[in-house]
């Protein structure tokens, strides 16, 4: 079996923004798609479901985007399952342009849960074998190392739409990022590009729920901005934390 897998993607017109460059949301969709493609090619899953009615659920992303591909570009996204530890699976990713230049990379932490009971399950020895992994991951990965929001400057509420729900029957992780960015002033969105995305997913959200997003903007040196976002339920429970880094266009 193999712990590394790659897949090519053509940037189509529905993947780009008004500048004809690939949207960050499309890049994130490629990252998750390549994981599903690998797990299906190895026989671990069928249509995203592990054979014992379990699913992989993303807990955390840390993504760097160095350069955005353009309309009609063909890029290669590869992923490597680098370790497993009890309930958690860890992956690296790279995004390369047609010349082989790395234009993005990422690290993710995911967990296996029972699809019906929504409870975490210990990863089985068969899954270690499928990905060619021997022994438990020997590194400590801190889940919540994101900067905490202290001074909310912007906020919005959203009612979860049916179109926000993914195949796991909860809000798609990309939607959280899109909603958070929607709280920002136009000056940031129009004059800065998103260069790093850190997201920690704490609890699931379902169709019909209402969520509240709070945002803080922190200006740094070197023409960079950090935006911090927390997403909470109507009861005040933390659902998701985000830390986004923006770099001013040259």
Q: What is the mean pLDDT of residues 150-163?
A: 94
- pLDDT at position 1 is 54
Among candidate residues 140, 139, 121, 145, the one with its CA nearest the CA of residue 199: 145
Question: Residue 114 and residue 118: Cα distance in Å, rounded?
Answer: 5
- pLDDT at position 192 is 93
Report DSSP state, residue 14.
G
> Can you give the pTM of this predicted structure?
0.91
Domain boundaries 4-130, CATH class: alpha beta
| Residue 64 φ/ψ region, left for φ over 0, alpha for ψ in the -120 to 50 degree band, beta for the rest | beta
- Placement of tokens 């290669």 in the chain: 76
Alpha helices in the chain (DSSP H): 24-41, 125-130, 173-181, 186-191
Domain boundaries 154-248, CATH class: alpha beta
- pLDDT at position 47 is 65
Q: Where are the domains of the chain?
A: 4-130, 154-248
Q: Would you state the structure tokens that stand for residue 170, as one six-digit string?
A: 């909860």
Question: Residue 133 and residue 72: Cα distance in Å, rounded?
Answer: 36
């Amino acid at each position: 079996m193999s712990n590394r897998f790659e897949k090519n993607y053509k940037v189509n017109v529905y993947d780009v923004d008004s500048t004809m460059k690939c949207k960050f949301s499309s890049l994130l969709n490629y990252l998750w798609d390549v994981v599903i493609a690998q797990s299906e090619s190895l026989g671990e899953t069928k249509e995203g479901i592990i054979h014992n009615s379990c699913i992989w659920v993303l807990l955390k992303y840390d993504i760097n985007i160095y350069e955005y591909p353009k309309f009609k570009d063909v890029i290669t996204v590869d992923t490597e399952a680098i370790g497993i530890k009890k309930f958690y699976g860890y992956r690296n990713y790279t995004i390369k342009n047609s010349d082989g230049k790395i234009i993005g990379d990422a690290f993710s932490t995911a967990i296996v849960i029972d699809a019906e009971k929504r409870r975490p399950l210990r990863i089985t020895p068969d899954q270690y074998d499928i990905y060619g992994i021997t022994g438990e991951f020997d590194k400590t990965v801190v889940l919540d190392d994101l900067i905490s929001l202290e001074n909310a400057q912007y906020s919005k509420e959203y009612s979860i739409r049916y179109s926000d729900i993914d195949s796991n029957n909860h809000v798609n992780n990309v939607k959280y990022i899109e909603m958070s960015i929607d709280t920002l002033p136009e000056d940031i969105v129009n004059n800065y590009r998103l260069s790093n995305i850190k997201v920690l997913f704490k609890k699931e959200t379902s169709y019909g729920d209402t969520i509240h997003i709070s945002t803080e903007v922190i200006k740094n040196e070197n023409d960079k901005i950090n935006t911090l976002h927390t997403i909470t339920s109507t009861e005040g429970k933390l659902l998701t934390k985000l830390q986004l880094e923006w770099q001013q266009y040259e």
